[in-house]
Amino acid sequence: MSSNQTIFSGDSFQLGYRFQSYWDFHMATAFFFGELGAGLFLVSLYYGFVPGMVAGLLCTGVGKPYYHMSHMGVPMKSWRAILRPDRSWISRGLISIVIFVPCGALVVLDSWFGWSGGGMLGKLVQIVAVAASLLVMTYQGFAMSHSSAIAIWNSGLMPIASLVYSLTSGAAVTLALGLIFGGIDPLALSKVVMMFVGVTLLVQLGLLHAAYHGTAGSRQSLELLLRGQFAKQFLSLVFGAGVVVPLLVLWLGGASILGGLLAAVGVLAGFYAFRLLIFRAGVYEPLMSFAARLGLS
Amino acid sequence: MARMGMVFDLKRCIGCNACVVACKQENSLPEGVFFTRTLSEEYGVYPNVKRVYIPTLCNHCEDAPCEKVCPSGATFTREDGIVMVDGEQCIGCSACAVACPYDQRTQVTQESLTKGLYGTGELTPFEEDGYKRFSPGTMIKCDFCSERVDADLDPACVVTCPTDARIFGDLDDPNSKTSRLIRDRNGRPPLADKNTKPKVYYID
């Protein structure tokens, strides 16, 4: 038996891979709401679709903080997370959310009541809201890619995956809401959603490819996702529901309400599954192996 | 100022885990929480099976990723190089835990501080006194027994080791035992490719 045999040591006192378990359901859901909300706001803003902007702000302003606070060990001290923007992506992200939500709300109010009268202040607020939303869409990916501990996260594609998933889910939900409430061109937007889903697929494949050519830890995580205990969920939800279903229903269903809703549900299911499974498949690499060095393997 | 570090002599470690017990006692650690572990690696085919023991603890990295990602500034490095966590500032976000390549962070839960040794909710006098140092929900880790270091003593795990497999000292002093061992016996840090510049070295 080689000492190179993969061992998941868990909490035992054996040398081996250990699962990352600190960031799980609550953090995955917080990440999901943050990126969905920012993407939904941005896409809806582009199409002038106010219900989407409101839904996006609620996702980022209510859903995300709720699940972050559920995860925190000391939630009443959560405000301290803002203190280190010089070093921490979490601090930078929190600052961007604090800017994004009020500015986004002002943009919505402007579209309802015209408080800026079309002036420069209204445009400036809109620019700030867009810039902050872009940061909200990507900071989580940067926070993950910054971690050399979890090899599959340590990829330059992680922030890009965050951005792409954010835009894809935002576009899909804008389409679904637009088909229900009216006010958008569903045919044009459905083509945009299909394009975003295609880009998402490319980024996913790029991430998996990078993991394959990365360290032993990233290959171990990849094995878990594609052939191991997470394979069924990963393949069926991330690729099946998240890519194949939306592409099929939008191509066949065009701009129907049912097609739009099915596509949105598929995209969201795939996105959430990606978030959660990437967390759960993260592993710490074994500290070292001395077997070969001691001539004992 | 000194730069405190540790050396593990793998030829001497016998895997008795006395260091683990000493650490739990010194730091009043709740059930399931370990600041140090002695991992084992087994290989070979019966009857030629062998086992190596590898002690582990926080490496007090010079380029500590846990300190860089901490959003509240709770994680900091002392002048002597010991990486500490200020429980009053920690918000329990676990960013440090997913940043540490060595998985040396633990979150202390309210449950673990109230369950008690017998799981009845009653704490022993030892637990009552010892658990005062912990804030529920915060992240904790080895601090090289900083209070003992301040009193010019070695950490509990070093003092307890029956084979002197753990050596503690100033890495900036070329004549310290740690520095000499690293130099003479080719001391290597764990997971050097992670570029965290650990202050714990292994010799064999």
pLDDT exceeds 90 at position B168: yes
Nearest CA in chain B to A93: B71
Interval A109-155: pLDDT, tens: 999 999 888 899 999 999 999 999 999 999 999 999 988 899 999 99
Put simply, the answer to whether A18 touches B103 (Cβ < 8 Å) is: yes
* A18-284 is classed CATH 1.10.420.10: no
3-state helix, strand, coil split of chain B in percent (to 5) is 25, 25, 50
Inter-residue contact B11 to B18 (CB < 8 Å): no
Q: Which residues of A271-290 are buried (b: 16+ CB within 10 A; e: fewer)?
A: bbbbbbbbbbbbbbbbbbbb
Cβ contact, residue pair B68, A88, below 8 Å? yes
Q: What single-letter amino acid sits at A240?
A: G
CA B161 to chain centre: 14
**Residue B43, helix vs strand vs coil:** strand
**E strands along chain B, which residues?**
4-9, 36-45, 48-57, 75-77, 83-85, 106-107, 139-140, 166-170, 200-203
User: How many angstroms separate the CA of residue B149 from the nearest CA in chain A?
Assistant: 26
Question: What's residue A287's pLDDT?
Answer: 83
Confidence of residue A1 (pLDDT cuts 50, 70, 90): very low
- Please answer yes or no on whether A23 and B94 come within 8 Å at the CB atom: yes
CB contact under 8 A, A284 and B32: no
- Residues of chain A with C-beta less than 8 angstroms from the C-beta of B138: 73-74
The answer to whether B39 contacts A287, with C-beta atoms less than 8 Å apart, is yes
CA pair distance B74, A98, nearest whole angstrom: 22
For A239, counting Cβ atoms within 10 Å of its Cβ (0-12 exposed, 13-18 middle, 19+ buried), the class is middle
According to DSSP, residue B106 is labeled E
pLDDT of residue A4: 47
pLDDT at residue A6, rounded to an integer: 64
Contact status of B194 with chain A (Cβ, < 8 Å): yes
Is there a contact between B69 and A73 if contact means CB atoms under 8 Å apart? no
CB within 8 Å of A252: residues ≥ 6 apart: A259
- Residue among B41, B90, B98 whose CB faces A20 most closely: B98
CB contact under 8 A, A294 and B52: yes
% of chain A residues with pLDDT over 90: 84
pLDDT average, residue stretch A54-62: 97
| Dist CA A223 CA A217 (whole Å) | 10
pLDDT of B172 > 80? The answer is yes
pLDDT in tens, A225-278: 999 999 999 999 999 999 999 999 999 876 789 999 999 999 999 999 999 999
B187-204 pLDDT, tens digit per residue, is 999 999 899 999 999 998
Six-digit token pair at B187?
């001391």
Cβ contact A190:A171 at 8 Å: no
The band of A291, judged by pLDDT with boundaries at 50, 70 and 90, is low
Q: What is the ipTM of this complex?
A: 0.91
pLDDT of residue A3: 46
CB contact under 8 A, A149 and B65: yes
How far lies B102's CA from each of A16, A97, A222, A229, A288, in Å? 11, 31, 20, 24, 10
Nearest chain A residue to B33, by CA: A11
Q: Are B29 and B75 within 8 A, CB to CB?
A: no
Which amino acid is present at A125?
V
Tell me, yes or no, if B191 comes closer than 8 A to chain A by beta carbon.
yes
pLDDT class of A288 with cuts at 50, 70, 90? confident
Q: Which residues 78-137 on chain B approach chain A with CB closer than 8 angstroms?
A: 89-95, 97-103, 105, 107, 109, 135-137
C-alpha span between A91 and A69 (Å, rounded): 15
Contacts of A146 in chain B (CB under 8 A): 65, 68-69, 99
- Domains of chain B in start order, with CATH, are 4-203 (3.30.70.20)
Residues 65-84 of B with CB under 8 A from A: 65, 67-74
Asked if the Cβ–Cβ distance from B97 to A82 is below 8 Å, we say no
Domain extent listing, chain A? 18-284
Is A66 exposed, middle or buried, given 0-12, 13-18 or 19+ CB atoms closer than 10 A?
middle
Residue B131 contacts residue B30 (beta carbons within 8 Å): yes
10 Å CB burial of residue A29 (0-12, 13-18, 19+) is buried
Q: What is the mean pLDDT of chain A?
A: 92
Tell me the shortest Cα–Cα distance from A53 to chain B, in angstroms. 29
Which residue in chain A is spatially nearest to B193 when comparing CA positions?
A: A148
